[in-house]
Structure 1
Amino acid sequence: MENKRPQLSETELQELAAQLRCPNGEDGLKVGEMMNFTNSNMIAKAIESLHLTDGDDVLEIGPGNGMHVKEIIYSGEEINYRGIDISPDMVKEAQKRNKGLSAVAFQLADGETIPYGESRFDKVLTTNTIYFWKDPQAYASEIARVLKPGGMVSIGFIPKSTMQHIPFAKYGFTLYDVETVKGLMATAGLEAISAVTEKEFVTGGSGQQIEREFVIFTAKK
């Protein structure tokens, strides 16, 4: 007989949603590990979509504990990586996991601005963070600002049609469809390249098996 976890209470769902937004403490470390597995396919597809090449300067927004960073920097020669996160605990954990890699650095950010100069990066990557952008249009413009001319951004997200059925998503998540994301990027001066929809089965934060769709949206400056 299948063992099912008890359904989470509304308070527990709220706590989980808060941890997904900004993991902290011991529970945050556990959520970071969980996200390594639930997001692994989305992250891999997002990395693949960037077509990384030798010498690329890459920014990741919301790398969590940074378990996947080696996959990025070993995609070519002399790829440089910078990761920014709003969670001090995730920045610390990512630094620990990637210690000794001179091409890798992590920095705490405020979720509203990107702490780098204009035209700094060839590629920008983010997965499952767009729901938490405080001012989505302003943040899209920040991404455009730090991209070099001709640079690319890849945004991985679960579309509204799927996310609206996930219990914790009613707490602090802004839900998106492809056209909304496309509009945000276009207003920021980024031209859509593609929006690829994938399907997968994952174990949700409350223990249930979920069939979900996710989208890898790419755009260029």
Structure 2
Amino acid sequence: MEKLTETELEQLASHLRCPDGSSGIEVADVMNSTNANIITKTINSLDISIGDTILEIGPGNGKHVSELINKANDLSYFGIDISETMITEAKQNNSQYNNTSFQLVNGENIPFEDNIFSKVFTVNTIYFWENPIAYATEIARVMQPEGILSIGFIPESTMRKIPFAKYGFTMQSVPSVIAILEKSGLIVLNSTLETEKIVGNSGNAIEREIVVLTAKK
């Protein structure tokens, strides 16, 4: 694949933040494939059990939700996203389930009451939190006591090597994410780091680090 121009990199970064229109749908399909491993590992780290009420922040097109919803009986899943295009796609891709819900949000507030969710997870959204501590505090607010949060992300050591990451991404390291969560009142339980090989969003084969970090209320 030819090297992307700076304009193309900036457009790609914009769609990674908030996929929009037909181009956004295409980018989201690539993301679903590219991020399959980190999504699975993040979901597995939640240790989902019968009756869990689960919130996902940034589900994209939601094609992975079937993987989650079949893990246990009596689950309730809620996905929130800042992209109207992705909310539409996720609803269509999960129309067969009566225990899933998708809602458009502003990326600053989580429109649920306190102490609702037993499990919360998000993959590759933390770079876009405008005020990370405030948003992590919002996450903590909607979590049940002893609830589990799992965050999957690409650490700064890898993000610095990705050309589009200079456009609107706030790079995070494991220590910086731990600090954000601790300042929001959450207790960090564990973080795992591994290296994987993927075909990136720009079409190039790359090796990258991925982190899955878990915390509890």
Q: TM-score, normalised by structure 2?
A: 0.99
Match 1:162 to one of 134, 155, 158: 158
In 1: Cα distance, 2:160 partner to 2:2 partner: 21
**Which residue is equivalent to 1:107?**
103
- 2:82 equivalent to 1:79: no
- CA distance in structure 1 between the partners assigned to 2:194 and 2:136 by the alignment: 23
**Which residue is equivalent to 1:220?**
216
**Displacement of 1:96 after TM fit?**
0.3
The one of 174, 177, 202 equivalent to 1:206 is: 202
Deviation, 1:207, is 1.2
Aligned to 2:130, the other structure's residue is in SS state coil
**CA–CA distance in structure 2, aligned partners of residues 69 and 207 of structure 1:** 25
Runs of 4+ aligned structure 1 residues displaced above 2 Å come to none
Give the Cα–Cα distance (whole angstroms) in 2 for the partners of residues 62 and 101 of structure 1: 19
C-alpha root-mean-square deviation of aligned residues, in Å? 0.6
Is 1:13 matched with 2:9? yes
Amino acid at match of 1:17: A
1:190 counterpart = 2:217: no
State the match for 2:123 in structure 1: 127
Local SS of the residue matching 2:55: strand
1:55 aligns with 2:67: no
**Does the Cα contact within 8 Å between 2:31 and 2:201 map onto a contact in 1?**
no
Residue 26 of structure 2 is matched in structure 1 by: 30
- Does 1:181 pair with 2:171? no
Amino acid in structure 2 at the alignment position of 1:209: A
Aligned partners of 2:26, 2:137: CA distance in 1, in Å?
A: 32
State how far apart, in whole Å, the 2-side matches of 1:100 and 1:165 are.
Answer: 40
In the TM superposition, residue 199 of structure 1 has moved relative to its aligned partner by 1.1
Q: Secondary structure, in 3 states, of the residue corresponding to 2:112?
A: coil
Identity %, equivalent residues: 52
Deviations 1:170-203 (A, max 9, x none): 0000000111100110011100010100211111
Aligned length: 217
Q: Distance in 2 between matches of 1:92 and 1:207?
A: 26
The C-alpha deviation readout for 1:66-120, integer Å capped at 9, x for no partner, is 0011111111010110000000000000000100311100000100011111001
Alignment gaps of 5+ in structure 2: none
Cα distance in 2, alignment partners of residues 147 and 130 from structure 1: 17
1:172 counterpart (168, 172, 185): 168
Partner AA of 1:108 in structure 2: L
State the AA in 2 paired with 1:191. Answer: I
Q: Secondary structure at the match of 2:168?
A: coil
Residues 19-64 of structure 1: per-residue CA shift (max 9 Å, x gap): 0000001100001100111000000000000000000000000000
CA apart distance, 1:206: 1.5
Q: Does 1:46 align with 2:42?
A: yes
